[in-house]
Structure 1
Amino acid sequence: MTRTRPTIADLRALKGKKQLTMLRVTTLEEAEAAERAGVDIVSIPPELILHPHYRDAAPSLFSMPGDNFYEIGTADDFVRWSFRMIKAGADAVYCSASYATIKRMADEAVPVIGHVGLIPSRKTWTGGFKAVGKTADSALQVFEAVKQLEAAGAFGAEIEVVPVEVAEAISQRTSLFMLSMGAGAGCDAQYLFAEDILGMNRGHMPRHSKVYRNFAAEYDRLQAERIAAFREYVSDVETNAYPREQHIVHMPPDELKTFMAKLEAS
């Protein structure tokens, strides 16, 4: 059955009623797989939404491009960037810049997803890559950030690595559509990275990640096959096993005779 891409109004109507699924995907192949698997929401690099075939691959995915705010610039830059994203087919944009910047976009009716809790680009303020909101005071700071996003006009917020009790209590007290990354099932959607689900990451795995496949091992196997194929090619050239008759073309004898005569006379 063909799915219809949800609108902002659709997602708001689902708040508190069911858990949706969200992935960070970075390639057209991953987006198509998410579409065919029935994923609801994807976060994507800005260049992916600009791909001419993106919506062919992912017609029903609620798609949210985002980038580090250092890469985009000022509030004016964000407004221009967000217009470009929406024009290309984005359903919302991610922004971890200031509340004022988010407000600038929201004032232009751009659906914006903010970020609270562990914000990687601002991790130095909260002590690095670790949970945020484990004390009453820090949990209230997360709630205050959510209220600030509400006031700025954001549509939703990613809430990352916050205690499950805190995330659930906040989600129940905000109109924002809350995207849980490592913050439990009390929010409106569960958010994981495709590279973690596929087992592509050979380094540290976040506590909240779950690995469903081992692509790293498959990549290792393919690399070994790649090296072996290249070695066989080198050996074939060195032993005159390549090229063979089936790999080359010949000039007709009469044309060859004429060519050689002209070549000798030149």
Structure 2
Amino acid sequence: MSAHAAPTKRLTLGDLAAKKAAGERLVMVTAYDFPSAQIVEDAGVDLVLVGDSAAMTVLGYDSTVPVTVDEMLMLTKAVRRGLDRPLLVGDLPFGSYEASDAEAIETARRFVKEAGVDLVKIERGGTTVDRARALVSAGIPVVGHVGLTPQTATALGGYRAQGRTAEAALAVIDDALALQAAGVSLLVVEAVPSEVTAALMPLLDIPVIGIGAGADADGQVLVFHDLLGLYPGSAAKFVKRYADLRSAAVAGVEAYADEVREGVYPAPEHGYGMPEAEARRLGELLAERWDIDSRK
């Protein structure tokens, strides 16, 4: 539980279903550490995803593929400590669930037991549908992910929109329906044409979270660092930047560096003092111990 607020009721999957039924939009944001978790908590989001995008956003890898289970667990535990109300979703990293149902269940159980996630997320349809079914049967709530799936972006032709032909769109829809039939609680649809999402929504009963998938989904997710402008350069087409924190952060550090070099910081008000009598007594003790006066 975060220290910034009184305890609040944690959302449940039933709450998400009720919001969907009432037409209330769901808000999901990624977070990767304790401070960002506290920020999104205070902002009132519904779901927090510790995505394997952490591989690139906070760990400096060039893709999501290298990140390990232990690295993801470390980040997810930190986020859990910063959250009260939102549901927490943990991304199972590449190579930690594909080989077998038993591997998927063991990895997912670690995220539930060690990091306290409410749901785990896995990517793609195909054999992943079997893994989803096994996880659900083991009592672990699952978030499915279709469309652009970063863990297999190379096989999909890179980080580009999926489902842009009628046949490809049908494949995305088939994957989504198969995951729903397998019992997933939630679905993320990434980087597909808006028309595909619009066609998909009447076919699904579970909440759908879009990212680069148009406005018809039940909710949206963005990466914390993207929406706050913490990285230089251009972002994906679907990203809207709601702040420019990188520029503010660079300016702040530059101002600090300038003041240190100019001898302006720290000023007297940034330090601690001793009572005058104690300072005088310290001088006397130093003089007695090291014969300071004789060194002048």
TM-score normalised by L of structure 2: 0.73
1:89 aligns with 2:116: yes
Which of 121, 129, 134 is matched with 1:99 structurally?
Answer: 129
Which of 2, 12, 16 is matched with 1:7 structurally?
Answer: 12
Q: Secondary structure at the match of 1:125?
A: coil
The farther-off stretch of 217-226 and 114-123 is: 217-226
Q: Which runs of 4+ in 1 moved over 6 A?
A: none
Q: Secondary structure at the match of 1:180?
A: strand
> What is the number of residues matched between the two proteins?
250
Find the counterpart in structure 2 of residue 203 from structure 1: 233
Q: Structure 2 CA distance, aligned partners of 1:68 and 1:82?
A: 10
Structure 1 unmatched runs, 5+: 237-245, 261-266
Q: CA deviation at 1:170?
A: 0.9
Q: CA deviation at 1:12?
A: 2.5
Where do 1:155-166 residues align within 5 Å? Answer: 155-166=185-196
Find the counterpart in structure 2 of residue 241 from structure 1: none
Q: Secondary structure at the match of 1:142?
A: helix
Q: CA deviation at 1:79?
A: 1.9
Summarize deviations over 1:63-83 as a string: whole Å, max 9, x none.
111142236774434322322
Structure 2 unmatched runs, 5+: 1-5, 52-72, 266-272, 292-296
Q: Structure 1 CA distance, aligned partners of 2:75 and 2:90?
A: 8
Distance 1:254 1:188, change over 3 A: closer
Q: CA deviation at 1:3?
A: 5.2
Summarize deviations over 1:101-120 as a string: whole Å, max 9, x none.
32222111111112100111
Which of 59, 74, 78 is matched with 1:47 structurally?
Answer: 74
Where do 1:19-30 residues align within 5 Å? Answer: 19-30=25-36
Pairwise CA RMSD of aligned residues? 3.1
Q: Structure 1 CA distance, aligned partners of 2:285 and 2:112?
A: 65
Larger Rg computed on CA atoms? 1
Q: Secondary structure at the match of 2:132?
A: helix
Q: Structure 1 CA distance, aligned partners of 2:289 and 2:215?
A: 81
Distance 1:123 1:232, change over 3 A: same
Find the counterpart in structure 2 of residue 175 from structure 1: 205
Q: Secondary structure at the match of 2:203?
A: coil
Find the counterpart in structure 2 of residue 143 from structure 1: 173
Q: Structure 2 CA distance, aligned partners of 1:72 and 1:223?
A: 42
Amino acid at match of 2:163: G
Amino acid at match of 2:13: I
TM-score normalised by L of structure 1: 0.81
Q: Structure 2 CA distance, aligned partners of 1:29 and 1:81?
A: 26
